[in-house]
Amino acid sequence: MAELITERIENVILFDGVCNLCNGAINFIIDRDKNNHFKFAALQSDYGQQYLDTNNLPLDDFESMVFIEKGEIYNKSTAALKIVRNLSGLWPVLYIFIIFPKFLRDAVYNLIANNRYKMFGKRDQCRVPTPELKAKFLD
């Protein structure tokens, strides 16, 4: 495993690296992250696994993206909404959905997450960032 994570990196998105939907979402975020607000790592990567382990989170649950913002850990619909409010364009307007109860938002999130491989497919391995995007990825 990689060296112990000692520095605190803000605004990290951990995602399922083999999921086509998740990789599409990461591309969507990168295209709208005009202020270079986010860093990324696959949940399956050394960084992702170490972060999960250090924070006593399951190491084999790739059903949810994880967003780390200012030391706080968010997952599922809350992570998605916290991320969208930092994108360029009109996307931050979607943050209004935070007013809905988490159990309702997460029910929709879970429906999509549980069927994402069937609907969008799966890769054989985690994404490898292009040289231009490598600085945005932690592993």
**Rounded average pLDDT over 19-45:** 92
Across 1-5, 20-24, 57-61, which has the greatest mean pLDDT? Answer: 20-24
Higher per-residue pLDDT: 79 or 136: 79
Q: Is the pLDDT at 79 greater than 90, yes or no? A: yes
**Nearest of 23, 28, 39, 26 to residue 126 by alpha carbon:** 23
**Nearest of 63, 59, 61 to residue 110 by alpha carbon:** 63
The pLDDT value given to residue 4: 44
